[in-house]
């Protein structure tokens, strides 16, 4: 009888422990900051960090591709696109590289644990007037398979998700 | 029995490694430089193989599946770099990771060097694009020189023009 009581208590405790984080996660899911039908992506800046040109371009192009793939925005404009001037509810994404560690694909393949490539990017979303509406730090990394440029795809997926969740997703009622 | 399997694996690996170590003959076809378009060229799939030719004021990429053209005057920046890649890539490369006795890891040591060419250009609406190409080592600088000669701009001067005392032929350019 005592044993059954003990098992029951442990089960309840385990359920509570497992249930807690999901509850917290559900509560802290960020509501959309504002609704936007169009987004303009500016070229990735890397004033402080010396970033190879191919990484800068890959970050920019992958970000645009992922935003288009994710859907939700009617238009995804590139930097300098004249058509963005007439867009009504437009958000502009400014990205600045804050950290870059170029790993080694060979080291990853041979050792599995070494050779990670990581890029840290500060993302700032502004409205048409330049007023900041959202700021986040994101990163992109490649730890096991793939070339170093794959880290840019990882960042792009995270950036596109952030933009989608913050400006496209239906508001919580 | 175990020894026989191991011997077979060693012979197989030696054969594969030997064939990989053969010097690759870099051929420059008259049609243009053989490149792989990593990303960024409008209307072309990622990792498409083809040839890149600067002619008649256009940078033309031609592959088996289609063509793309960029006016050289719209090119705002051309830079070169270098990288390396596994000799055994793609599906076969992935399968080698599961080869016995850690031989997949051993095969990862065989790599080929390559040059990268990065081009930033604007489309008709003023939108900024970036394209990345990889090509056999030693060909990116020549292509960049040709592009600059035809009106493309660059943030890093072509090495041959910067003066022989400052130019380092082995070092690739670094962006300011």
Whether A20 and A56 map to the same domain: the answer is: no
Q: Label residues A120-135 b or e (16+ Cβ within 10 Å = b).
A: bbebebbebeeeeebe
B157 touches chain A (CB under 8 A): no
Which pLDDT value is given to residue B8?
65
Whether A69 and A21 map to the same domain: the answer is: no
Residue A173: inside a domain? no
What is the extent of the structural domain holding B68? 32-154
Record: contact A61-B129, CB cut-off 8 A:
yes
What is the extent of the structural domain holding A42? 38-167
- Rounded to 10 degrees, what is the CA torsion of B169, B170, B174, B176? -40
If interface means Cβ-Cβ distance under 8 Å, which residues of chain A face chain B? 43, 50-54, 56-58, 60-62, 65, 77-83, 105-106, 109-110, 145, 147-149
Whether A112 and A154 map to the same domain: the answer is: yes
Q: pLDDT digits over A83-139, tens only?
A: 999 888 899 999 999 999 988 887 887 787 888 899 999 999 999 889 999 999 999
Q: Would you place residue B95 in the very low, low, confident or very high pLDDT band (cuts 50, 70, 90)?
A: confident
Residue B176: inside a domain? no
Residue B7: inside a domain? no
Query: Rounded to whole angstroms, how far apart are CA atoms A153 and A155?
Result: 5
Long-range contacts of A67-70 (CB under 8 A, 24+ apart): A67/A39, A67/A41, A67/A159, A67/A160, A67/A163, A67/A164, A69/A160, A70/A160, A70/A161, A70/A163, A70/A164
Residue A172: inside a domain? no
Whether A9 and A42 map to the same domain: the answer is: no
Q: pLDDT digits over B38-63, tens only?
A: 998 988 988 899 999 998 899 999 99
Query: Rounded to whole angstroms, how far apart are CA atoms A44 and A63?
Result: 10
Complex ipTM over 0.85: no
Q: Would you place residue B70 in the very low, low, confident or very high pLDDT band (cuts 50, 70, 90)?
A: very high
B45 touches chain A (CB under 8 A): no
Whether A2 and A54 map to the same domain: the answer is: no
Q: Which residues contact A167 (CB under 8 A, 6 or more apart)?
A: A32, A33, A34, A35, A36, A39, A72, A73, A91, A125
B96/chain A closest Cα distance in angstroms: 11
Q: Label residues B73-94 b or e (16+ Cβ within 10 Å = b).
A: ebbbbbbbbbbebbbbeeeebe
Record: contact B86-A109, CB cut-off 8 A:
yes
pTM for the full predicted model:
0.76
- State the average pLDDT for chain B: 76
Q: Which residue of B has its CA nearest to A80?
A: B127
Whether A68 and A3 map to the same domain: the answer is: no
Query: Rounded to whole angstroms, how far apart are CA atoms A47 and A44?
Result: 10
Contact A36, A1 (CB under 8 A): no
Record: contact B39-A61, CB cut-off 8 A:
yes
Residue B6: inside a domain? no
Name which residue leads in pLDDT, A90 or A27. A90
Q: What CATH number does the domain containing B58 carry?
A: 2.30.29.30
Number of domains in chain B: 1
Number of domains in chain A: 2
A104-118, B63-77, B127-141: segment of lowest average pLDDT: A104-118
Q: Which residue of B has its CA nearest to A42?
A: B128
B63 touches chain A (CB under 8 A): no
């Amino acid at each position: 009888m005592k044993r059954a009581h003990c098992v029951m208590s442990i089960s309840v405790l385990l359920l509570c422990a497992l249930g807690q984080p999901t509850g917290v996660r559900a509560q802290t899911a960020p509501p959309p900051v504002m609704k936007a039908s169009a987004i303009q992506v500016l070229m990735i800046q890397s004033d402080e960090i010396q970033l190879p040109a191919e990484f800068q371009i890959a970050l920019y192009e992958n970000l645009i591709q992922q935003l288009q793939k994710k859907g939700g925005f009617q238009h995804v404009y590139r930097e300098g696109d004249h058509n963005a001037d007439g867009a009504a509810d437009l958000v502009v994404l400014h990205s600045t590289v804050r950290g870059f560690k170029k790993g080694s694909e060979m080291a990853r393949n041979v050792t599995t644990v070494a050779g990670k490539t990581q890029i840290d990017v500060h993302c700032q979303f502004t409205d048409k007037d330049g007023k900041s509406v959202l700021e986040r730090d994101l990163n992109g990394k490649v730890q096991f398979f793939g070339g170093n440029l794959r880290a840019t795809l990882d960042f792009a997926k995270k950036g596109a998700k952030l933009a989608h969740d913050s400006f496209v997703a239906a508001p919580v009622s | 029995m175990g020894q026989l399997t191991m011997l077979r694996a060693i012979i197989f690996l030696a054969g594969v490694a030997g064939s990989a170590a053969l010097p690759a003959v870099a051929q420059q076809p008259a049609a243009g430089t053989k490149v792989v378009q990593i990303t960024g060229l409008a209307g072309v799939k990622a990792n498409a193989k083809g040839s890149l030719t600067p002619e008649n004021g256009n940078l033309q990429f031609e592959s088996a599946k289609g063509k793309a053209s960029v006016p050289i005057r719209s090119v705002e920046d051309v830079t070169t770099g270098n990288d390396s890649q596994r000799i055994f890539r793609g599906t076969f490369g992935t399968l080698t990771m599961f080869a016995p006795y850690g031989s997949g890891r051993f095969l990862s040591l065989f790599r080929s060097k390559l040059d990268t060419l990065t081009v930033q250009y604007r489309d008709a609406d003023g939108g900024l694009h970036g394209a990345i190409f990889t090509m056999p080592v030693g060909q990116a600088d020549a292509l960049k020189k040709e592009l600059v000669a035809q009106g493309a701009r660059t943030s890093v001067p072509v090495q041959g023009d910067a003066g022989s005392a400052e130019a380092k032929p082995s070092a690739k350019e670094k962006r300011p």
